[in-house]
Chains A and B, each alone.
Chain A
Amino acid sequence: MKSHLFKGTGRITRLLFRQNRLEILLWVTGIIGVTLAAALAFPEVYRTQEDILGFAVTVQNPAMVAMIGPAYPLKGYTIAMILAAELLLFTAIAVAVMNILLVSSSTRLDEEEGRLEMIRALPVGRLAYLSASILMITAVNVSVFLLLGAGLAVLGHESMMTEGSFLYGAVLAATGLFFAGVTALSAQLAESSRGTKGLSLGLLILAYAVRAVGDVQSDTLSLLSPLGWTVRTNVFLENDWWPIGALVSGAALFALLAFYLNKKRDM
């Protein structure tokens, strides 16, 4: 009986990919392109250890910490850490925005425009469309993880070692998934697709602000924000994977809530 709820998910997933393929392509190549371009350029910009140290000192000051997250220790600073410091947080935000836009368009917007209605009149499960949307966005995030991880490991500077590179890709993907979950839930709660986007983007901004204050003042505060987890992987140094677990768990929780509401709610 339960399988009835998801009937047709596969076909709809294909439909969503087809419908959104240009957006997906542009975002993914943009994100990966910019990151790899920076990874390839930085060794040319920061040629000596003095150059690297110069950068490392700059990002120690509280204004920078508020902007890009906690600084790595000065000793043993590498090109890889420069990449992470410069790009990780903002790229994660870009990935989050991509997720918010894609999920809201394949949930609330499709509902508003009557596309969902036409599919729901078919022998399709009540949760199929939402499931398809989640599958699509998970696949997109996973491809960012794999492509970026492999790209950095293979093409990047020698300081971008394998584990670090894949952790880098993973934290971007996980942050994206977290906000995909947030958006899926917002889509069930908000009054319109604009409301869905507004709510989700608003929460993203809030997450950034809380982390900014927390990173300067109090670790505990920063840990209340998902972006606080994003900047705490110590990637290319300690390589802590717990933020991945936290972000993915958060995503799963929001998605489950979204499914629960979707099941009960009128279409």
Chain B
Amino acid sequence: MSLVEINGLVKRFGSFTALKNIELKMDKGEIYGFIGPNGAGKSTTIRVLLGMLKPTAGKVTVFGKDAWKDAVDIHKRIAYVPGEANLWPNLTGGEVIDLFLSMRGNGNTARRDELIQRFDLDPTKKCRTYSKGNRQKIALIAAFASDADLYVLDEPTSGLDPLMERIFQELVLEVKAQGKSVLLSSHILSEVEKLCDRVAIIREGEIIEKGTLDELRHLTRSKLTVETRDPLTSLNEWTGVHEVQQTGVHAEFQVDTEDLDQVIRRISPHGILKLESAPPTLEDLFMRHYERTGGEVSKGGAGR
């Protein structure tokens, strides 16, 4: 039984269908990435998961329990960080953290203190005086100081500077090492790339792709720079090769990852003097998906 199971989830708000048919399974101990453009339905899906929204159709279970009916039980083992933590202006940061820990009931004060130090936060100031980034830190500390089994993070690092982003990533990997699970919805593709085991891409209320990063990489291209003893002939006609820039023995082009093997074999006989390759980034993958599904992103010329 999966940790999180979403089957045929549909969510309508009046005449607007926010989620069309979401299918998702998350296993224990993995970091699952959830990416998509603004308005795709990431936060809506997370809210259904957290029992805040009732599904129009479909079944959503967490720890094997129904997300809507058994929300209170489920929440005992979940820690949530929203994308924008608007706290209670009159309370201090420390008070908010303690509020969350005591209400969840599984807090660890030593961990809390350690995190406050790591994030370099002054917990004695009132929330109204904190910057956006500092409010976000409060939410993160309140979540990671607890001993939850599942961390649900909805764009948690918006407003954090790069140093704090790094601390955040360390924390995620630390909880994974303890066997916990993380659902991370993010816009920051590099973050997802570094942390996630599996990824689901959502767009306009549907999951258009999901799998491990490796599985998804086959949908993208690698950028190759080669220098060969003999020039490569008719390079732009080779299967799987695109955007060729060639001068004599020096060639730069892109190869569909699935054709990589066959292309390398064709290059070899020409004598490889130099070979550089850049692996596809999640950004490539993401952007390409737009093109493939006829998205609004225009196919830029050079540089891809």
Q: Give the interface of A toward B (CB within 8 A).
A: 4, 7-8, 11, 15, 18-22, 113-115, 117-126, 266-267
Contacts and interface: CB of A to CB of B under 8 A. Distances in A.
B84 A114 contact: yes
A266 B52 contact: yes
B88 A15 contact: yes
B102 A21 contact: no
Contact of B90 (A22, A114, A121, A267): A22
Contacts of B152: 121
Contact of B54 (A4, A15, A18, A266): A266
A114 B85 contact: yes
A9 to B, nearest CB: 11
Contact of B100 (A7, A122, A126, A267): A122
A122 B102 CA distance: 10
Contacts of B78: 121
Interface string B57-73: 00000000000000111
B72 A123 contact: yes
A115 B88 contact: yes
Contact of B103 (A20, A115, A117, A124): A124
27 contacts: A4-B72, A8-B103, A11-B99, A11-B102, A11-B103, A18-B88, A18-B90, A19-B88, A114-B82, A114-B84, A114-B85, A114-B86, A115-B86, A115-B87, A117-B52, A118-B85, A118-B100, A121-B50, A121-B80, A122-B103, A122-B104, A123-B76, A124-B72, A125-B72, A126-B71, A266-B53, A267-B47
Nearest to A125: B72
A242 B51 CA distance: 43
Contacts of B50: 120-121
Interface in B20-57: 47, 50-54
Nearest to A126: B71
B75 interface: yes
A18 B127 CA distance: 13
A121 B48 CA distance: 11
B91 interface: yes
Nearest to A110: B88
Interface of B: 47, 50-54, 71-73, 75-76, 78, 80, 82, 84-91, 95, 99-100, 102-105, 139, 152
A21 B90 CA distance: 9
Contacts of B86: 113-115
A124 B53 CA distance: 15
A123 B53 contact: no
Contacts of A21: 90
A107 to B, nearest CB: 14
A262 B161 CA distance: 38
A117 B72 contact: no
Nearest to B99: A15
B148 to A, nearest CB: 10
Given A18-B95, A124-B75, 18 more contacts: A7-B72, A11-B103, A15-B88, A15-B91, A15-B99, A18-B88, A19-B88, A19-B89, A21-B90, A22-B90, A114-B82, A114-B84, A118-B85, A118-B139, A120-B50, A121-B50, A121-B75, A266-B54
A1 B100 CA distance: 23
Contacts of A8: 103
Contacts of B139: 118
Contacts of B104: 122-123
Q: Among B54, B72, B87, which residue has the most Cβ atoms of chain A within 10 A?
A: B72
A105 to B, nearest CB: 11
Contacts of A126: 71
A19 B90 CA distance: 5
Contacts of A113: 86
A124 B52 CA distance: 11
The 5 A-B pairs with the shortest beta carbon distances in the complex, nearest first, are A121-B80, A267-B52, A123-B75, A113-B86, A123-B76
A15 B99 CA distance: 8
Nearest to B143: A121
A115 B99 CA distance: 13
A225 B52 CA distance: 37
A114 B127 CA distance: 14
Nearest to A122: B103
A119 B88 CA distance: 11
A56 to B, nearest CB: 46
B147 to A, nearest CB: 13
A123 B105 CA distance: 9
Nearest to A21: B90
Contact of B82 (A15, A20, A117, A124): A117
B48 to A, nearest CB: 9
Contacts of A119: 103
A8 B90 CA distance: 20
